[in-house]
Structure 1
Amino acid sequence: MTTVIRRRGAAAVLTVVLGLVLGSCASGPSQVNAAAIVDGRTIGVGQVQELVDRAVKAEPAAQTLADQHKLGDLSREVLTQLVMHELITSYTAQNPVTVDPAQLSQVAEQIRASTEPLPTDGTAAPEAIVATAATKVFEPEFLARDYLALAAIGDRELNSVKVTFDYAVLAPGQDGATGSLREKALAKAQQLAVGLDRAAAVQKQDTADGELQWETITTTPTAQEGLESSALFGTGPNTVVAFQPNQQNASWIIALIREREVSAPQAGAAKNPLQVAIPFGQRVLQSWVDRVGVKISPRYGVFDQVAMRLAAGDAESTGVLVPVKVDAKP
């Protein structure tokens, strides 16, 4: 059976930890001065700005972001982390998880030891500055709790999910058409979303023309190393997802999700490595976004469900999710 393209490895545990932040938010939906509203809870603009100001003071290298007019990236990182915390809180209120106190302390110490100041001579990458500065404004124990909660969420489903989808890979130089791969991938996603019958006709024509080679696969996250935490495994049936797996690989994956099944976890099954369970926990929360809602103030950008984080705008998102009009005629 043909499998989708792969990319190497998974994020290191520490890198994942640096992307998790615990924040407290006000109750009650209010769009006045709201940076975001998650499941009816408001994250205030003032709270985000206060954290950004503290982050700049806590990480000297962050002055580089100000010099390069990239403090917007830091604001989006802080807000992403706050949004993720609210999603974790909302999800675990209905689906409780257990965090081991000893493991929490161990992870907190790892986080505390990792936040050494970055070089201030301009050699530190902006992405590293953003992640480190955002991390420093919260207590390591708070970070560790969200980190381990996500791992527990992901561990429940990682070995129980099975997905069936049609997919094609759009690679550089695949055809002579003009325009970016992103534009072509998003346009193809919209074509497929017209209806299931129409999607079948489009796929058949693509294959006949040699434009794209469509395959159908039933697979699990653990069988797709490097893609196990991608939107392929968090997207519901009758939805088209188009995304670029990573910045190092210019190819795009276009997939029409046919079925997503979650079986009961096996009793006594071994836990998955944290560096795999954490990002899959974020992927489980993808469908929770649809259920509880995430609204982002335009001043911060948009919430990209494919990446499960904020993006500056739709054009900067890592992909799209497009529901298929199941009752549409070809």
Structure 2
Amino acid sequence: MRIMGRPRALIAVVAGAFLLSGCGAGPSQVSAAAIIDGKVTSIDQVQALLDKAVQEQPYAKQLAAQHKLDLVGREIVRQELLHAVVTKAAEKEKVTADQDAIGAAMLQDPLAGALPQSVTQNQDSAVTQLVWRVRDHREALTDQYLEQKLAIKYLPTLTVNFDYTTVGAPSADGTAPSTDPATARADAIAKARQFAADPKAVQGEIQSGAQAGVEGNVGTQVPALSSPQDATTVLFGVPANTVIAFQPNAAGNPTWVVAVVRQRATGKAVATDQAQQPTPDQLGGIGIRLLQPYLGDVDYRINPRYGVWDAVGMDLAPNANATKGLVLPVQGAAPAQQ
């Protein structure tokens, strides 16, 4: 089935449901939480938003009692950075927010009031939505709108081709892997470094893995529209000639994927009989992932007290050892065209 007419259906998702979805050295100013394109977000500004969250949001009070407000501080800085990135990406991609839609949303303001109890079951999503509520609401809604419009623009054409193997997956007979999580992570990152130095090594790894019942394949091609959940991952955000190590479903499956991305294409609509309509959450996640190539357009420095940028998670990790994986260029490869 060719994906003709699919963008119109996706626009309907944004119009009706987008509001419901859920680098370098530290700054020279010691009082700065972040410096983004020359604009300083001070530690005091972050603290003011934290205080506001605790005063207004019961969920923030819970996090404070659990000594987890650092999660909220990192998310505040993360959203400041993503706001700058999505603004530049939208300008380059000629994507604009429908101010009438934003204005109509503001009349009912879905970000007013306390965070719904149903949202708090997922900590990552809850912290994100908590910070939306303490930010300027129009700005937060506009960012979401632009991210989803980017997803709509590229879902019909985005596809990746890659070779991959796995680490820490159950064997072919279904038994649990003997590798503990820390060892599996270390093994996956070691393989990623090996493949970046010698990208042909992945083929030998796949062959030996097949004999041991380990999943892997050469030349796998996946259109984003046939797998919206996968399209939110780092696999769809890096250019060709990149090696990645990540967990596609860290919460439900311990398996690590180590892949060499051979091609990332957005030039023409993809024919597929397996197109899936993304949920609003997936659409937002894909939009954020599509910001990854534009991070280089923003000059940013993050105070180490708020962590380090994690390209795999499109997030701030507490430190380099807590990132959700690894992204490395293939050594000696020609620069990829985006």
**Partner SS, residue 218 of structure 1:** strand
Q: Report if aligned partners of 1:108, 1:143 keep a CA contact under 8 Å in 2.
A: no
* CA distances 1:59-80 after superposition (whole Å, capped 9, x unpaired): 1342222222111111011111
Distance in 2, matches of 1:288 and 1:124, equals 31
> Aligned-pair distance for 1:274?
4.3
Aligned partner (choices 220, 226, 229) of residue 229 of structure 2: 226
* CA distances 1:186-236 after superposition (whole Å, capped 9, x unpaired): 121111111223444444444455555334212211112421221111111
Distance in 1, matches of 2:75 and 2:216, equals 37
**Between Structure 1 and Structure 2, which shows a larger proportion of helix residues?**
2
> Aligned-pair distance for 1:176?
4.7
> Aligned-pair distance for 1:125?
6.9
> Aligned-pair distance for 1:129?
5.6
* CA distances 1:241-289 after superposition (whole Å, capped 9, x unpaired): 11112312222222110011111579xxxx9764443222111111111
Paired amino acid for 2:312:
V
Q: Is 2:142 the partner of 1:145?
A: yes
Match of 1:255 in 2: 259
Q: Name structure 2 gaps, 5 residues minimum.
A: 1-16, 172-176, 271-276, 334-338
TM-score, reference length from structure 1: 0.78
> Aligned-pair distance for 1:237?
0.9
**Partner SS, residue 102 of structure 1:** helix
Number of residue pairs matched?
299
Q: Tell me how large the CA RMSD over aligned residues is.
A: 3.2
5 Å matches for 1:20-169?
31-32=28-29, 33-108=31-106, 111-112=109-110, 115-116=113-114, 127=124, 130-169=127-166
Distance in 2, matches of 1:148 and 1:114, equals 17
Paired amino acid for 2:254:
A
Match of 1:314 in 2: 320
Q: Report if aligned partners of 2:164, 2:257 keep a CA contact under 8 Å in 1.
A: yes
TM-score, reference length from structure 2: 0.76
> Aligned-pair distance for 1:54?
1.5
Match of 1:7 in 2: none
Distance in 1, matches of 2:103 and 2:137, equals 9
Q: Report if aligned partners of 2:230, 2:248 keep a CA contact under 8 Å in 1.
A: yes
Change (3 A) 1:193 1:40: farther
Q: Report if aligned partners of 2:244, 2:325 keep a CA contact under 8 Å in 1.
A: yes
Change (3 A) 1:52 1:94: same
Aligned partner (choices 318, 326, 331) of residue 325 of structure 1: 331
Percentage of identical aligned residues: 28
